Structure 1
Amino acid sequence: MSERISLCMIVRNEADTIERCLRSAAPAVDELIVVDTGSTDDTVRIARRYGAVVFSAEWEDDFAAARNVGLERATGDWILVLDADEELAEDAPERLRACVRDRSCSGYYVTIYNYFHSFSEDAAVHSSIRLFRNDPRHRFEGAIHEQIAPSILRRDPRAVFGGSDIVVRHYGYVGDVVADRRKVERNMRILRRQLRKTPGDPFHLYNMGVEWARAGRPERAVRYFRAARSRATCDAPFVALAYKYEAFCWRKMGDVEKAVFSCLEGIKRFPSYTDLFHYAGLWEMEAGRWENAESFLTSAYRLGPPPAPFQTETGIGAHKTCFSLGILAECRRDDIGVLRWHLEAVRLDTSAEPPLCRLFRYMHCADREKQLAAALLKHFRPDQAGKQRVLNLLEACGCFRTARLLSRIWGIGRSKSVPRLRRDNPAGEEASRVLNDWHVSANRDTSSRRRWVRAASRMVDARLLDVRSPELRAIVRTVRLLLPWVDGFV
């Protein structure tokens, strides 16, 4: 008889997201258990429409207690845990069944992609135990950021947690969800109560730092992150994140030196955590210290994406790091480096347009289109659709000679729908000025360069708030891709 899987969820007013979650999970599991903690919208009706068994539970400011209500009622051999703002990847059913057939593991890590924008594939990536054996002794612990592993290990200290290829997509940070002050206040209330029970607990201190950072108070967040990492006696993944988030807070407060120093302290303790090298490199580049920036970024590239269970972001140690090295080469007028790193970024992520746009615009401004054409023919092997995309981007970036040459060699007609930066409206004129100015900006001193970038970024960000014209969208997108220091992947 095949192993049965029970999905267990806790929800409250999740009518906008729960259907997507259940639609992805229903084919993969044998039972849907939903614990509702007081919904006043259509959450319960939607859940029942998908065949879920819904239980009501009073909310007690305790996530573990609410999750355990569902575990107590699950009848499957295995438990899968999801939140309403998550969904399983399309291939999850097969991967789940393969995992539960293996009797050597008590639970499995799944890979969670936390998306920040509805228009981008950029995500923070981490692993979490979301699939585990159903046992009355396996219960969640912790009123907030609850954990299942402690109870499993207490029952069996030799329990094995396996890795898996199961992917969960999390959309809870998209849009206004993360800005919900009530959630921050709720989390802080729970954390304060937990810290009164266990003063100095590094995990609770770390999570309090996260909440202060979300609340826009980096000066308070820094104190909690420093306390968390100094009190932690183990090298748990959250300790590495404490260093990273502390560095982010210093950068948010405008102190690049302390941001880099926090990364250096973290590197001493976690020498394989690529993210610390990557961000130290970006901030050294921002400060105009090219050699230091190159050292950090090349170290990040050599390390590659950090191993599990470190939390990272898509592209760090891979195409994003190469993209940053390409920008650094632009600033140093290193034509060979520009070609090498931007093409390597595209090799690692063939769908990425920002490296190609930066490369094309740089070579056009530097009057190196002959070298660009030769490099594309030698190192770039796109399919038919990819060739058309390259031709379109070349024309959009002003590389008309290269586009004509490659069009003849590849035997492809050039598209008539390539977006142009027209000058018949104020936005187009402003965008054109930015595009023509960016190449000169890298020659300025660091303080002037920062002022120019901040001014241009404000213009672009303002345009992004309310862009209705498709042409204006193309203009804004192109400006973002070509701005120095602004990550074109965002």
Structure 2
Amino acid sequence: MSIPDLSLCMIVKNEARHLERCLSSVAGLVAEIIIADTGSADNSVEIALEYGARVLNIPWEGNFAKARNLALRQASCSWILVLDADEAASGWRAEVLNKLLGEQQVHGYFLPFIHYVGKAAGGEYVTDNVCRLFRNDERIVFQGSIHEEAASSIWAIPGGNIAYAALPIRHYGYLDAELRRKDKTSRNLQLIHAALQLDPASIPLLYALGTEHYQQGEYGAAADILLPLLKTVPSGSGYLPDIYLKTAYALQASGRPEEAGTVFEAGLRLFPDFTDLLESYAGLLLEKGDLEKPYRLLKKALQSGDTSQRYPSSTGSGTSRTGFVMGLVCEKLLRYEEAADYWEQAIGYDPGHTAAWNEFVPLCLLAGEEQRLTALTRRTLQAWPPALAGRCVPAALNAHAHEWLAVLSSAPQLPASVQAILQVLPEMLRQPAESAAAPLERLLRDAPDQPPIHGYLWAWSCRSGNAAAAGKWLAHLAAFRPGVAAVHHRIWEESGGGPQPLRSTAEHRGAPAAQQRPSEHAGDIAAMQHLSEHADKPAPAQRLSTDQPGDPAPAQPLSFSDLSYAAQLLLQAGAWSSLLSLYRNTAPSLFQWCRLPQPLLRGLLQAPAPFREQWCSIHRNHAQQYGNAPASAAEWLLYAAVAASCGRVPCLDPAAENALRQSGSAAAAVALSCHKLLLAEEAFPGSAPSGRISWLLLVRTALRDGL
């Protein structure tokens, strides 16, 4: 394939750290390289010469267009490509480029620029389309001392035509480190203000000035500059959509939401498929508490899809990011299935979309859709970042999602220590509780300083009722997690010598007799890797009051963080009796189940029926001791979920009902309505619709509402 008839023209000053990446990205794609150096003091010139460039030494006069045009006039090829040193062509092929350069009716091409922002390349970015590939024609020149552009000169040519070419350019100059190193903002503002003194009404310069303030987070100043431009910018200007977007957002961010809404509406009348504008307007309305209109706006944005060929854009607009936000809106509307669909769609665009997984995982687990979660995991697992795999393992263990855990266990992203524990779980599941700990003990011999394994062994000993073994492993565990000793004290000393066996309760006489074999999943992978991000922030350590009835003071402070750690261990190990003892002997003001990781709430419903019956009994006893009003609406909803799983209608005292009603939560309103239907069905079988309700999803919504 012949090298394209193309000249690369650049202006450079002290760009040694970037120049090689730029020049290597166009190797074999350009016939000549012309570099106008404006006074480099590093080895930029030497690097350019190594790539066969012709280097011109030109003075810097504070005018980017003038410097670029000097380089253009030295080009000898039929077409010119203009790059900066902190840019690089991405995935270009000579055969594609030759075809584009052969189009007789085209004078230039808009190229998609991917501007990385933030701390690291490859993360967040914004995009726009810039004309940097054009014919070598003396009428085509750059204009503007800063933020210079060549498109206007092409459009001024009779019949001048600029097409779009899917030849991406990656730009690294907006990364935080580069902005600090070059002090671009200070330099740009000096150049813009100097140019405005000569042409104070210049729309491109005012746009550039507003953009500089916008990028610095000076939204009030940006809005004051950009808002008047909306009345003066010609409708065909390529940067008009960006002015609408920046103006509306700047108004919103500077506390002028009504003006922002007006600008959003005006912009969408002109650009109805501009996905970033649609999504940003939805964000403004969501701040006001509206849901239905943002739902429609986001749906239109997803229908429009990726519009980066026509408008400036940012990471995931119209695709993964918009789908993620749409899922949040759907969940607020209690459209749980639809929310899951949109989060799955977002993951389809970006398999490693951590935020979408963080919502999709607990939603599927609480809804009992483990198969759906397993299928999506199987399709996308290879593309996951390591941290995501590490967070999903404890979620699967807490939920007793065995099928999903089997898929996760094959994740190559998991550390070897985690894989080793997951490899012994099948062997442990086949053995009785008394002897199942042997594989863990063998692992401990190979790596004695592993607190997670000590935690597993402590929980397994609690399950088997072996007080001596539990004390032994606690001694090891307490060196790393001393607060667990207080939890152990409540299980073994304050329960009359140890956990009591599971039994059916009078409260639930008549409940379904189906007995589930206790899960024997051991180990708290969350504790192992400190990756339990799904949990709420732990409460500060506190000593329980000694004047609360039925709740003697522990020998040492008991914190919610330690309760959460221990509860996960016990539930994963199937130590149901110990878990009940802990619940029974701890005040509900401290042991609030809804503050535990959400997947664990699904694990509760996977427990044996006698456990769930006694759990409900303890909940009711606590309510009687500490007052009828629930500690939180979410806590009562969880009780309703567990009671319903036992085939019982949950008890709702007047005070608790009043508290739910006054919460104003949609989840509470739905729960109250469903409770009445359950009462009607109980009194008059067949008289009321028996539609299925997912109480656990209402728990999740109540938690999101802060109840």
TM-score scaled by length of structure 1: 0.79
Q: What is residue 130 of structure 2 aligned with on the other side?
A: 128
Q: What is residue 220 of structure 1 aligned with on the other side?
A: 221
Aligned counterparts, 1:193-342, within 5 A: 193-306=194-307, 308-342=309-343
- 8 Å contact 1:391–1:403 — kept in the other structure? no
Q: CA deviation at 1:77?
A: 1.4
- 8 Å contact 1:205–1:225 — kept in the other structure? yes
Q: Distance in 1 between matches of 2:341 and 2:4?
A: 50
C-alpha spacing 1:217/1:378, structure 2 compared with 1 (3 Å): closer
Q: CA deviation at 1:29?
A: 0.7
Q: Distance in 2 between matches of 1:281 and 1:358?
A: 20
Q: Distance in 2 between matches of 1:399 and 1:168?
A: 44
- 8 Å contact 2:3–2:30 — kept in the other structure? no
Deviations, residues 431-469 of structure 1 (Å, cap 9, x unaligned): 8433958979999999xxxxxxxxxxxxxxxxxxxxxxx
Q: What is residue 425 of structure 2 aligned with on the other side?
A: none
1:394 and 2:392 are equivalent in the alignment: yes
1:433 and 2:536 are equivalent in the alignment: yes
Deviations, residues 239-276 of structure 1 (Å, cap 9, x unaligned): 21112112332343355554444322321332221211
Return 277-286 or 328-337, whichever deviates more.
328-337
1:90 and 2:193 are equivalent in the alignment: no
Return 57-66 or 305-314, whichever deviates more.
305-314
Q: CA deviation at 1:379?
A: 7.1
Q: Distance in 2 between matches of 1:287 and 1:438?
A: 30
Aligned length: 442
- 8 Å contact 1:438–1:484 — kept in the other structure? no
1:374 and 2:375 are equivalent in the alignment: no
Q: What is residue 152 of structure 1 aligned with on the other side?
A: 154
Match of 1:142 among 113, 120, 144: 144
Aligned counterparts, 1:346-385, within 5 A: 346-364=347-365, 367-368=366-367, 370-371=368-369, 373-376=370-373, 382=379, 385=382
Q: Distance in 1 between matches of 2:338 and 2:411?
A: 29
C-alpha spacing 1:15/1:387, structure 2 compared with 1 (3 Å): closer
C-alpha spacing 1:296/1:31, structure 2 compared with 1 (3 Å): same
Match of 2:403 among 397, 402, 405: 405
Q: CA deviation at 1:422?
A: 5.0
Q: What is residue 344 of structure 1 aligned with on the other side?
A: 345
Q: What is residue 474 of structure 1 aligned with on the other side?
A: none
Q: Distance in 2 between matches of 1:184 and 1:57?
A: 24
C-alpha spacing 1:181/1:99, structure 2 compared with 1 (3 Å): closer
Q: What is residue 477 of structure 1 aligned with on the other side?
A: none
Q: Which has the larger radius of gyration?
A: 2
- 8 Å contact 1:391–1:406 — kept in the other structure? no
Q: Distance in 2 between matches of 1:339 and 1:197?
A: 56
Q: Distance in 2 between matches of 1:180 and 1:204?
A: 24
Secondary structure at 2:20 match in 1: helix
Q: Distance in 2 between matches of 1:12 and 1:392?
A: 45
Secondary structure at 1:237 match in 2: coil
- 8 Å contact 1:34–1:54 — kept in the other structure? yes
Q: CA deviation at 1:9?
A: 0.5
Secondary structure at 2:347 match in 1: helix
Q: Distance in 1 between matches of 2:374 and 2:252?
A: 41
C-alpha spacing 1:403/1:164, structure 2 compared with 1 (3 Å): farther
Q: CA deviation at 1:90?
A: 2.6
C-alpha spacing 1:258/1:434, structure 2 compared with 1 (3 Å): farther
Q: Distance in 1 between matches of 2:332 and 2:525?
A: 24
Deviations, residues 141-184 of structure 1 (Å, cap 9, x unaligned): 22122222333343x31122222121111111112223468422
Q: CA deviation at 1:187?
A: 2.1
Q: CA deviation at 1:198?
A: 3.3
Q: What letter corresponds to residue 248 of structure 2 in structure 1?
A: A
Aligned counterparts, 1:417-432, within 5 A: 417=415, 422=526, 432=535
- 8 Å contact 1:26–1:32 — kept in the other structure? no
Q: Distance in 2 between matches of 1:386 and 1:153?
A: 44
Secondary structure at 2:239 match in 1: helix
Q: CA deviation at 1:395?
A: 1.7
Q: CA deviation at 1:18?
A: 1.1
Q: Distance in 2 between matches of 1:388 and 1:120?
A: 13
- 8 Å contact 1:237–1:311 — kept in the other structure? no
Q: Distance in 1 between matches of 2:46 and 2:5?
A: 25
Q: What is residue 77 of structure 1 aligned with on the other side?
A: 78
Q: CA deviation at 1:28?
A: 1.2
- 8 Å contact 1:247–1:259 — kept in the other structure? yes
Q: What letter corresponds to residue 282 of structure 2 in structure 1?
A: G
Q: What is residue 19 of structure 1 aligned with on the other side?
A: 20
Q: Distance in 2 between matches of 1:264 and 1:284?
A: 12
- 8 Å contact 1:212–1:220 — kept in the other structure? yes
Secondary structure at 1:79 match in 2: strand
Q: What is residue 457 of structure 1 aligned with on the other side?
A: none
C-alpha spacing 1:381/1:423, structure 2 compared with 1 (3 Å): closer
Deviations, residues 179-232 of structure 1 (Å, cap 9, x unaligned): 468422332233233333333232221111011223442211111111221211
C-alpha spacing 1:388/1:201, structure 2 compared with 1 (3 Å): closer
Q: What letter corresponds to residue 21 of structure 1 in structure 2?
A: C
Q: Distance in 2 between matches of 1:57 and 1:209?
A: 30
Q: Distance in 2 between matches of 1:411 and 1:120?
A: 26
Q: CA deviation at 1:30?
A: 1.0
Q: What letter corresponds to residue 433 of structure 1 in structure 2?
A: D
Q: Distance in 2 between matches of 1:280 and 1:445?
A: 26
Q: CA deviation at 1:124?
A: 1.1
Q: Distance in 2 between matches of 1:386 and 1:182?
A: 37
- 8 Å contact 1:361–1:399 — kept in the other structure? no
C-alpha spacing 1:391/1:188, structure 2 compared with 1 (3 Å): closer
Q: Distance in 1 between matches of 2:200 and 2:186?
A: 20
Structure 2 residue runs of 5 or longer lacking an equivalent are: 420-523, 539-594, 599-631, 635-659, 666-702
Q: What letter corresponds to residue 130 of structure 2 in structure 1?
A: S
Highest RCO, 1 vs 2 (Cα 8 Å, sep ≥ 6): 1
Deviations, residues 74-99 of structure 1 (Å, cap 9, x unaligned): 11111011111100113343332221
C-alpha spacing 1:45/1:424, structure 2 compared with 1 (3 Å): same
C-alpha spacing 1:484/1:204, structure 2 compared with 1 (3 Å): farther
C-alpha spacing 1:149/1:421, structure 2 compared with 1 (3 Å): same
- 8 Å contact 1:250–1:259 — kept in the other structure? yes
Q: Distance in 2 between matches of 1:423 and 1:412?
A: 17
Q: What is residue 58 of structure 1 aligned with on the other side?
A: 59
